[in-house]
């Protein structure tokens, strides 16, 4: 555990006692702080009380009177749609509000020679990019750690050494509130609509992501520039056309004197000062199928190069990357039919990228539709032979797909897998890419993906 420094003998309030909140409470206590904890759920309170933390309802008058900071968990709204009562009370009392990511960077600032930190954010691909970069570093013999929105809570890591590299996946919920954000390398994969109610629209969502690059200023930034927000961000960070502190990741042809990693038609190419440094055929990399994963590979490549790794070492690691569970994960092949679990494709954009990765698809989709509906999927349904729709509102989901795709209402995963496997022919892919949240039938996208894998394993 990384002890949180700077609060010795002071009272710090912790709101939300899930994975990140309870870990933050422990790390604060290890650093000498007195922790006052609260969770709106009885389970969180019981877990904290069992570890000896003081419990006090932080929504009550006077609960924050002697607190120097309020640390809140990422899932608790602090601005939109409505601030949590305890957070509003902290504002009124003048108590700074922070989260575990801010505490982590603040604590690293006390080290004489801190480890290298790579922080990765974006709408889609940040989990795969983070896991892939971690894999590349380990393969190259580096002492690397994966944490944040993936793997372990960041403060749960063992205290790192000066030669270590910490790879953090950061969501907009985490970057929006952290009071200290000082990675050595920051990565922006892309931006598509998501969490808009939490951020008050696209502008607020982008602003939350942008803070990773503006609060402390990374030494180097890797920016996906195919969306207008990424192009804007790269332009804001670069001080000259050839400023190689900004590495642009794009599908565009190489241009200019800057540092660029492109991914086009299955090939990755690195250019610097108008000269090609390396190229890799990604079409043979089994763990990274499709153009969206090629973007992830390009972002991880750029970050690894910024850390000083050689192209040959990165290429070797790409070729044996096993893939991340529930993200374009190839789980089986039966009689020439491939079964792919992309349960993490919970929004329209992620599902569209998955649908573009395979030529003939038996598509399992459905669940809780997100704001905006499914209109954005219609241009990407050309590879779908038939859709097998699951979810409590499966019929409504099928109607929302429109007349452009043949559908079969299955409702549950067992029926969908059985019917898709029965219909599929050699050369086709049975793809779970729901384009919807899982909470109508499962408590997480992971449980949904595990159910898919289990049903595939049960096929005769």
Tens of pLDDT, residue by residue over 34-76, are: 999 999 999 999 999 999 999 999 999 999 999 999 999 998 9
On whether the CB atoms of residues 206 and 193 are closer than 8 A, the answer is no
- Annotated binding-site residues for ATP read 122-128
Q: How many CA atoms lie within 13 A of 318 on its CB side?
A: 29
Query: What pLDDT is stored for residue 51 in this prediction?
Result: 96
Strand partners, 290: none
Query: What pLDDT is stored for residue 114 in this prediction?
Result: 87
Query: What pLDDT is stored for residue 2 in this prediction?
Result: 94
- Across 128-141, average pLDDT: 97
Q: What digits encode the pLDDT tens for the residues 235-262? A: 999 999 889 999 999 999 888 889 999 9
pLDDT cut 70: percent of the chain above it:
99
Confidence of residue 196 (pLDDT cuts 50, 70, 90): confident
Domain ranges of the chain: 11-98, 106-319, 329-457
The count of other CB atoms within 10 Å of the CB of residue 425 is 11
Q: What digits encode the pLDDT tens for the residues 439-458? A: 999 999 999 999 999 999 99
112-125 CB burial, b ≥16 within 10 A, e <16: eebbbbbbbbbbbb
| Distance in angstroms (rounded) separating the CA atoms of residues 181 and 396 | 43
Q: Which residues, other chains included, contact 148 with Cβ-Cβ below 8 Å and sequence gap of 6+? A: 101, 119, 130, 154, 168, 169, 170, 174
Token look-up 């870990």 returns 23
CA dihedral 294, 296, 301, 307 (to 10 degrees): 180
- Across 376-404, average pLDDT: 94
For residue 110, pLDDT beyond 80: no
Query: What pLDDT is stored for residue 111 in this prediction?
Result: 66
For domain 106-319, the question of CATH label 3.40.1190.10 is answered with yes
On whether the CB atoms of residues 189 and 248 are closer than 8 A, the answer is no
- Shortest CA distance to 126 belongs to which of 296, 284, 250? 296
Pick the CATH number of 329-457 from 3.40.47.10, 3.90.190.20, 3.30.1540.10, 3.30.2290.10: 3.90.190.20
Write down the mean pLDDT value for the chain: 94
Query: What pLDDT is stored for residue 255 in this prediction?
Result: 84
Query: What pLDDT is stored for residue 371 in this prediction?
Result: 78
| Distance in angstroms (rounded) separating the CA atoms of residues 436 and 131 | 23
- Annotated binding-site residues read 122-128
DSSP3 helix / strand / coil % (the chain, rounded to 5): 35, 25, 40
Considering only 129-133, 193-197, 271-275, which range has the smallest mean pLDDT?
Answer: 193-197
34 token code pair? 């007195």
Q: What digits encode the pLDDT tens for the residues 292-316? A: 999 999 999 999 999 999 999 999 9
Query: What pLDDT is stored for residue 66 in this prediction?
Result: 94
| Distance in angstroms (rounded) separating the CA atoms of residues 352 and 345 | 9
| Distance in angstroms (rounded) separating the CA atoms of residues 141 and 135 | 10
The count of other CB atoms within 10 Å of the CB of residue 8 is 11
Strands 267-272 and 275-281: antiparallel
Strands 275-281 and 67-72: unpaired
Query: What pLDDT is stored for residue 195 in this prediction?
Result: 83
Strand partners, 365: 389
Which pTM value belongs to this model? Answer: 0.86
Pick the CATH number of 11-98 from 3.60.70.12, 3.40.309.10, 3.40.470.10, 3.40.50.720: 3.40.50.720
For residue 425, pLDDT beyond 90: yes
| Distance in angstroms (rounded) separating the CA atoms of residues 370 and 255 | 38
For residue 207, pLDDT beyond 90: yes
Confidence of residue 322 (pLDDT cuts 50, 70, 90): confident
Query: What pLDDT is stored for residue 170 in this prediction?
Result: 97
């Amino acid at each position: 555990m990384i002890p949180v420094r700077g609060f010795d003998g002071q009272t710090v309030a912790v709101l939300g006692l899930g994975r990140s909140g309870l870990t933050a409470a422990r790390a604060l206590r290890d650093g000498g702080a007195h922790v006052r904890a609260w969770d709106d759920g009885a389970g969180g309170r019981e877990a904290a009380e069992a570890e000896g933390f003081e419990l006090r309802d932080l929504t009550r008058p006077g609960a924050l009177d002697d607190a120097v900071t309020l640390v809140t968990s990422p899932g608790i709204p602090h601005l939109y749609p409505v601030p949590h009562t305890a957070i509003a009370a902290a504002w009124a009392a003048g108590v700074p509000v922070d989260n575990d990511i801010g505490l982590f960077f603040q604590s690293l600032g006390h080290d004489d020679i801190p480890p290298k930190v790579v922080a990765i954010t974006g709408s889609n691909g940040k989990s795969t990019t983070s896991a892939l970069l971690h894999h590349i570093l380990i393969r190259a013999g580096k002492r690397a750690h994966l944490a944040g929105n993936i793997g372990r809570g960041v403060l749960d890591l063992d205290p790192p050494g000066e030669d270590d590299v910490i790879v953090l996946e950061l969501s907009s919920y985490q970057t929006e509130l952290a009071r200290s954000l000082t990675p050595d390398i920051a990565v922006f994969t892309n931006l598509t609509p998501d969490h808009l109610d939490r951020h008050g629209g696209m502008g607020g969502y982008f602003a939350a992501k942008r803070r990773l690059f503006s609060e402390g200023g990374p030494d180097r930034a890797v920016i996906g520039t195919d969306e207008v927000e990424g192009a804007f961000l790269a332009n804001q960070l670069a001080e000259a056309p050839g400023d190689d502190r900004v590495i642009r990741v794009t599908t565009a042809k190489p241009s200019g004197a800057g540092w660029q990693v492109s991914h086009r038609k299955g090939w990755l190419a690195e250019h610097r000062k108008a000269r090609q440094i390396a190229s890799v055929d990604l079409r043979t990399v089994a763990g990274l199928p499709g153009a969206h994963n090629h973007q992830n590979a390009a972002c991880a490549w750029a970050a690894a190069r910024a850390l000083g790794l050689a192209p040959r070492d990165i290429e070797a690691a790409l070729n044996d990357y096993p893939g991340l569970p529930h993200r374009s994960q190839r789980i089986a092949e039966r009689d020439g039919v491939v079964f792919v679990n992309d349960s993490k494709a919970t929004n329209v954009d992620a599902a569209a990228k998955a649908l573009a990765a395979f030529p003939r698809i038996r598509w399992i989709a459905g669940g809780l539709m997100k704001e905006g509906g499914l209109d954005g999927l219609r241009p990407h349904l050309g590879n779908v032979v038939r859709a097998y729709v699951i979810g409590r509102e499966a019929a409504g989901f099928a109607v929302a797909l429109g007349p452009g795709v043949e559908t079969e209402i299955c409702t549950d995963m067992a029926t969908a897998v059985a019917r898709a496997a029965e219909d599929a022919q050699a050369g086709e892919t049975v793809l779970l890419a729901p384009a919807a949240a899982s909470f109508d039938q499962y408590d997480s996208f992971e449980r949904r993906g595990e159910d898919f894998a289990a049903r595939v394993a049960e096929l005769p």
